[in-house]
Structure 1
Amino acid sequence: MTRQHTRAWFGLLVILCPVFLVSMDGSILFLAMPRISQALTPTADQALWILDVYGFAVGSLLIAFGNIGDRYGRLKLLMIGAAVFGIGSAGAAFAPNPELLIAFRALMGLAGATLLPSALAVLSELFTDPRRRARAIGVFAAAFAAGFAIGPVVGGVLLERFPWGSVFLVNLPVIAVFLALAPALLREARATGKGRVDVLSVVLSAVGLLLAIHGIKHAAADGLSAVAVSTAITGTGLLVWFARRQRRLEYPLIEFSLFRDRVFTIAIVTGLLPLAAWSAAAYLSGIHLQSVLGLPVLHAALLALPGAAVLTTLCVVTPALAERIGERAALTVCHFSIAAGLALLLMTGVTGGTGWYVASTMVSGIGYGISFSMVADTAVAAVPAERAGAAGAIAETSNEIGNALGIALMGSLAAVVFRLAGPDLAPTLGETLQRPGIAPTAVLDAKEAFVAGLHTAVAVLSLLHVGLGILALRWLPQSEKALVPQASA
């Protein structure tokens, strides 16, 4: 028994290898983008795709691959996904142009979508005791959050000594360890009776999301045009078709009927909006620290450490905190602390603001940690036990989509402000600063325009979190019994 218990915990450590990489690769480029922009000179649109195509691929395919793993074997899919993730990482590290880097990032996202649901399912097979399984899932969630939090730090440390491709090559040793140990420590897990995967739904959700966001980003970078508007409308139409189709399927990818429950809706939005805020603020702040204030990449990475420590600590202590003050109070604190932290970034400027940045990450880190830790449990608790799997899958998807949407939408908003308020030189700050012979006054104007875009984006996100905090106060029940999982009733 003890030997089996030890093997299970070693198996957990092995599972955490790909989980940590999937989450870390969602954020590791935030500080690396200025260096990548110098090397590959992507357009404004391409720069945003390099960052967020990974998250879109993971989010749009997560539920589909969860169903595929249920039907054909989760460990098998986990092994294939890890190998493909390694191939994508190697290709991205040596990509000679932005187009290939985007393609390999998309491949990494596709592989990441196979890893998360399969890893959680295989973990559940390792721990048959409910209490030990709950502890293991807590470690799983903390590792996933920690990967997001320290991704920019890891990227900054690597870039201080190595070329930009090192942020992808760092994945390969971890993948190699996983592929070597997984067959010996992990067991196959397969469920039956899940029905077939609706291929058309997968295509509609993925293509619709990509087209809609591409249209928005194209309009932000180059202004309104027939191409941008038609692309966005086409993508939106495909997403509406996807939503309507789910209502007619016996085994839908997303059960939209679950959103009739207000608690579930609050939980899912809490999974999406904080990740959107965190990714957008981290991306834009990384550019501000390096391109506006001129800090070395390692210095910028070290400034992110206090916020990462707060976020990771809150992931660990939130279950006990929620048990003490209640889930309603915890989720309310989550949104108002994120709103306050984002508002602190309004104090940053062209000549300073590093202290405000550190304070912002620490204050908002409280809310991010609560969000990462509570979303899945709150969503699952709000629905009947037989629908817990669907609720959990939607919760995971909301995290990944939020991470990508934050960069896409808020990055596009910041780009619009830059283009309207900034110099008529180039569509991005990076491209502007690389222009030969640029005048000092034009440099200052460009930096001021970027800061204006940063302030606009964080102000919008802060107000959205204030609104969601108010909704949490109004919609979430005061009785703790309403938030207790059905299975334990």
Structure 2
Amino acid sequence: MTKLDPAAPAAAVGERRAWLGLGVLVLPVLLVSMDISVLFLAMPTLTADLGPTASQQLWILDIYGFMLAGLLITMGNLGDRIGRRNILLAGAAVFGLASVLAAFAPSPAVLIAARVLMGIGGATLLPSSLALISNLFPDARRRATAIGIWTAFFAGGSAVGPICGGLLLHHFWWGSVFLINIPVLAVLLVFGPILLPEHRAATLGPIDLPSVALSIGGILPLIYGIKHVAAEGFDVASVVIAAIGVGLLVLFVRRQRQLSEPLLDLTLFTRPLFRVAIGASMVGMMSLAALSYLTSVYLQTVTGRDPLQAALLGIPMAIAVFVCAMSGARLGQRFGVRASFTLALALSALGNLMLFGVGVDGGLGWYIAGSVIAGIGYGISFTLVSEVAVSAVPAERAGSAVGISETSFELGNALGLALLGSLAALVFRSGGNFGATLSDTVTHSGGDATVLHAARESFVTGMHVATATGALLLIAMAVAAWRTAGRVQDGAEHRNT
């Protein structure tokens, strides 16, 4: 008779609890990434209700990503010190309260303020949830699988956001896209303390507050300056604000080099694959944000579909992103991170370029095919980014490393809307005497068929220019990934990380 290992039942219970814990961790990830894109389809009805200006519309979309980008590194480090589960649950509470405020916002200013609070809450959720995976799954193979699942929900959330938004808008008012967060966060707050381990690094000293101030004070003005220049052109104020941001970031980097426990570990960037990962995540999210936003406007305002119909057409891309994110880590293990990154970025670029087949009067097949191919590339590359970030540092610094990678995601998303979105708007306005946006032009056209067709043609041209620019950036990053990662053999790189 085979003697039973008395530790086997306990190990099975521990593994089952770890996977249940992962199920809890992916909930806030899904919400945070959904809230990046959930407003894409809601903007037309929200605009009709609250009447925001063109500038306020951009801030409603952008400020959430800006706050995430500015705070992720800080919150990742804070979680390493005060406890990743503690900061996860605190962030969930803030995110939930802000969601209620956003849902019932009586004015654009209140909605923008609520999005700021959502950004603060979201910045605590992403790094702590991914860093906790290293505590739940010490085994490298299971950890890679868990990271693939986490990334599938993160990457898939951006694609699912417009779909959920469309379904909700078909039955409810625009505020429902925020209230959907509440029951999901309730599950996290109830089961998180039961299933998730607490982890704090006893060896780390207090967080360096001047570094926190410099990082936030540098990122936000720089993004604002870039956004303003892209949308309105160069002026003294925007250039000065951006220059202040650059100056503060230079001081931030200098301070990190002097600290024994820096907020941003600059030695990570000496690793070729880490550099590739950060570049891939930023460029990938830039192009994905522009693709998602512009095609959402196209499907509703150019082709005349309602939000639900537009959302349903996004399902193929959402499935592609989700499925391929699950398999991205395995592809990296089989073919090497260098080849996998290059292939993923090239597929994303090809999908964006296929949107040239989309026009005012047709090309829906080109949109579906292009979005699916792009989604395959995005899903693979985003998983590889997460895997590289978690495996790059010891477990006690995982929150810090994840904060860097997630900052690149959110910064890329914000810049995609600010730069590529503004590029599309610039091309649109240059096509004729139109309003600030296509929706404004349609509203004030008086039903003039000639004006409407010309405006829609101009919007499609702007969409082509913006998505093609995103594709060129992806191609450039694919070349950089192949060349940079090629200088070091993959095997040697894996040993270093």
Q: Same fold (TM over 0.5)?
A: yes
Q: Deviations over 1:204-225 (max 9, x none)?
A: 3323332233233334444433
Q: Which structure 2 residues correspond to residues 265-414 of structure 1 after superposition, within 5 A?
A: 265-379=275-389, 390-414=400-424
Residue equivalent to 1:453: 462
Partner of 2:234: helix, strand, or coil? coil
Residue equivalent to 2:7: none
CA contact (8 A) 1:380 1:485 kept: no
CA contact (8 A) 1:379 1:395 kept: yes
Q: Which structure 2 residues correspond to residues 12-411 of structure 1 after superposition, within 5 A?
A: 12-379=22-389, 390-411=400-421
Whichever residue aligns with residue 99 of structure 1, its letter is A
Q: How many residues align?
A: 486
- 209-218 or 65-74, which deviates more: 209-218
Residue equivalent to 2:483: 474
Root-mean-square deviation over aligned CA pairs: 2.3
Whichever residue aligns with residue 430 of structure 1, its letter is S
1:443 aligns to 2:452 (yes or no): yes
Partner of 1:484: helix, strand, or coil? helix
CA contact (8 A) 1:56 1:400 kept: yes
Q: Which structure 2 residues correspond to residues 410-449 of structure 1 after superposition, within 5 A?
A: 410-423=420-433, 425-435=434-444, 437=446, 439-449=448-458
Task: Using structure 2 for the length normalisation, give the TM-score.
Answer: 0.91
CA contact (8 A) 1:381 1:486 kept: no
Change (3 A) 1:451 1:77: same
CA contact (8 A) 1:44 1:221 kept: no
Shift of 1:130: 4.7
Whichever residue aligns with residue 244 of structure 1, its letter is R
Whichever residue aligns with residue 480 of structure 1, its letter is D
Change (3 A) 1:326 1:135: closer
Q: Deviations over 1:103-149 (max 9, x none)?
A: 11111111011112222343433345554444333322222222222
Change (3 A) 1:380 1:77: closer
Aligned partners of 1:97 and 1:204: how far apart in 2? 32
CA contact (8 A) 2:230 2:419 kept: no
Q: Percent same amino acid at aligned positions?
A: 49
CA contact (8 A) 1:45 1:217 kept: no
Shift of 1:281: 0.7
Q: Deviations over 1:280-314 (max 9, x none)?
A: 11001111111111111111111111111111111
CA contact (8 A) 1:56 1:210 kept: yes
- 443-452 or 17-26, which deviates more: 443-452
Aligned partners of 1:96 and 1:270: how far apart in 2? 39
Aligned partners of 1:76 and 1:39: how far apart in 2? 38
Shift of 1:385: 9.2
- 470-479 or 32-41, which deviates more: 470-479
Q: Deviations over 1:152-210 (max 9, x none)?
A: 11111111111111110000011112212222223322112222222333233323332
Whichever residue aligns with residue 62 of structure 1, its letter is L
Task: Using structure 1 for the length normalisation, give the TM-score.
Answer: 0.92
Change (3 A) 1:228 1:415: farther
Change (3 A) 1:422 1:238: farther
CA contact (8 A) 1:211 1:232 kept: yes
CA contact (8 A) 1:73 1:189 kept: yes
Q: In the alignment, which of 19, 34, 37 is matched to residue 9 of structure 1? A: 19
Aligned partners of 2:362 and 2:196: how far apart in 1? 50
Q: Deviations over 1:14-42 (max 9, x none)?
A: 22221221122122122222222222222
